[in-house]
A = this chain, B = another copy of it.
Amino acid sequence: MAVMTMVEAIRSALAAELERDERVLLLGQDIGVNGGVFRATEGLQERFGAERVVDMPLAEAVIVGSAVGLACSGLVPVPELQFLGFGSQAFHQIEGQVARMRFRSHGRYGMPMVIRAPFGGNVRTPELHSDAHEAKYAGSPGLKVAMPATARDAKGMLTEALRDPDPVLFCEPLRGYRLIKDEVPEEDFTVPLGRARTVREGDDLVIVAYSAAVVIAEKAAERAAAEGYSVGVLDLRSLVPLDADALREAVARSGRALVLHEAPLTAGFGAELVATIQEEAFWSLEAPIGRVAAYDTPYPPGSVEDLYVPSVERVLAAIRTVLEA
């Protein structure tokens, strides 16, 4: 197997599906000639033509909204939000239209669509480029929300999402585009949504995370191991569908849990995870479930962003708190 970066894995999944399924069509800002600002679509317009890899005007609502119409016509549109933060410009189209069209039309118009959106911090982007809005989409029924943490999952889950008849918001950690590297099968394969991945087992505590935060969780777990704690890491992979069984089993094993994400604490998806865990595994809980998240403030300018996004140290401190509770 070849080692790929996450952005290479994403590109290869897009290329393979463009090749395999002529209904697939990519649309977005700067995705064509420029190959995407992160090069996720590099070379695809040359290979598949400007009618299947389409540079769009600077207007998120119509990038997503026209994708709704493209889907109604029988195609599989893959709109790219240059940054998840600018999904807010299309929020009414995503939560109000994409997510509801199948239901609204009583099944006539399915929305086989994947909305790709990079997000996440620590890379000194300008304001609004790093925002982690996943909970707002996970709270929009009709949508599925995928959050891969490895290059392998990025390819397998994106392929799965492209073949899923339901609309999927596919969030890509921009910090991980090049930093996250692992072995990715060349051949066609899919990773189902809604099945969490056990990154490492642990008897004392389990950290539940997704996307780039999984990397932080792993590092913290290693550091904790050095302190003599057995800390497991569960990678959720997708928020909707949510793998409640995996949450139950992981917590049943260790009795203690920590949820971790890059979004602010209040009403972040970590709250849903805590609520689900205590519903599923209340009686095995030996301590309050900890939450490590960004602060309840807007994503700050670059000089302090590394203090804002949860760090290995903050996770470690939280691990100790939960273990000592």
Contact = CB atoms under 8 A, between A and B. Distances in A.
Interface of A: 85-86, 88-89, 91-92, 95-96, 99-100, 103-104, 127-128, 135-136, 138-139, 141-142, 239-240, 242, 263-264, 266-272, 274-276, 278-279, 282, 285, 287-289, 291, 295-298, 325
A281 B227 CA distance: 29
A135 B297 contact: no
A274 B278 contact: yes
Contacts of A271: 267, 271-272, 274-276
Contacts of A288: 278-279, 282
A79 B274 CA distance: 35
Given A89-B92, A139-B268, A287 B298 contact: no
Contacts of A325: 282
A295 B142 CA distance: 11
A71 B297 CA distance: 21
A277 to B, nearest CB: 9
Nearest to A259: B275
A167 B264 CA distance: 18
Contact of A272 (B91, B142, B266, B295): B266
A297 B142 CA distance: 6
Contacts of A272: 266-267, 271
Contact of A266 (B242, B266, B274): B242
Nearest to A137: B267
A142 B299 CA distance: 11
Contacts of A85: 96
26 contacts: A88-B95, A88-B96, A89-B91, A91-B91, A96-B128, A99-B298, A100-B298, A104-B127, A104-B298, A135-B139, A139-B264, A139-B266, A141-B295, A141-B297, A142-B297, A239-B267, A266-B272, A267-B272, A270-B275, A271-B271, A271-B272, A275-B289, A275-B291, A278-B289, A279-B291, A282-B288
Contacts of A291: 275, 279
A152 to B, nearest CB: 27
Contact of A282 (B138, B264, B287, B296): B287
Cβ-closest 8 pairs across A and B: A139-B267, A88-B92, A282-B288, A91-B91, A274-B275, A271-B271, A271-B275, A271-B272
A2 B258 CA distance: 51
B266 A138 contact: yes
A71 B138 CA distance: 32
Contacts of A285: 282
Contacts of A297: 103, 141-142
Contacts of A239: 267
A103 to B, nearest CB: 5
A91 B92 CA distance: 8
